[in-house]
Amino acid sequence: MNSVDTQVQEVNERFCAALATHDLETLMEYYADDVSLLIPGAPPMEGAEAVRDYYTNVFAAGVSGAEMRTRRLEERGELLIEHGEYTMSLDPPGGDAVEDVGKYTVVHRKDAHGRWRCWFDMFHSDTAAG
């Protein structure tokens, strides 16, 4: 595993741990201030505050864990394109626990300190919309 692979793996592990513990501040360290988030069934979310609001709702919906598995990384100068698969566990208040499996594409961009930050994030469940 090369340095970029290791960095992305470590960042993804911190992201998933923050998601599981509902640690919004650590979760937001993953994102650039001008992030774009595209998710199924919703209009694009632009900027860190919109993403913060989204995750506040995700926490309230009962997210209880996640795992990201990077399948492909391609570095392009100041950009890093990541394709992968995810598994997310939800335990909604008053509802049955659900496990969602899907895929994602993230475009990371280096910040002023040389750290990879998520600039464009898109994911989609493998479960058919119903």
Range of the domain at 82: 3-125
In this prediction, residue 2 carries a pLDDT of 72
Residue 129: predicted pLDDT: 62
Counted domains in the chain: 1
Residue 104 falls inside a structural domain = yes
| Report field, pTM of the whole predicted structure over 0.95 | no
Q: Is residue 54 included in any domain, yes or no?
A: yes
The per-residue pLDDT for 17 is 96
The answer to whether position 61 is within a domain reads yes
Cβ proximity of 98 and 15 under 8 Å: no
| Lookup: tokens for 50 | 């919109």
Closest CA to 114 of 1, 4, 37, 24: 4
Q: Is residue 47 part of a domain?
A: yes
Question: 29-39: buried (b, 16+ CB within 10 Å) or exposed (e) per residue?
Answer: ebbbeebbbee
Per-residue pLDDT of the chain (130 residues; tens, 9 = 90+): 678 899 999 999 999 999 999 999 999 999 999 999 999 989 999 999 999 999 999 999 999 999 999 999 999 988 999 999 999 999 989 989 999 999 999 999 999 998 899 999 999 999 866 5
Q: Looking at residue 9, which CATH number applies to its domain?
A: 3.10.450.50
Residue 95 domain-assigned?
Answer: yes
User: Is 130 inside a domain boundary?
Assistant: no
Residue 1's pLDDT is what? 63
Q: What is the pLDDT of residue 115?
A: 87
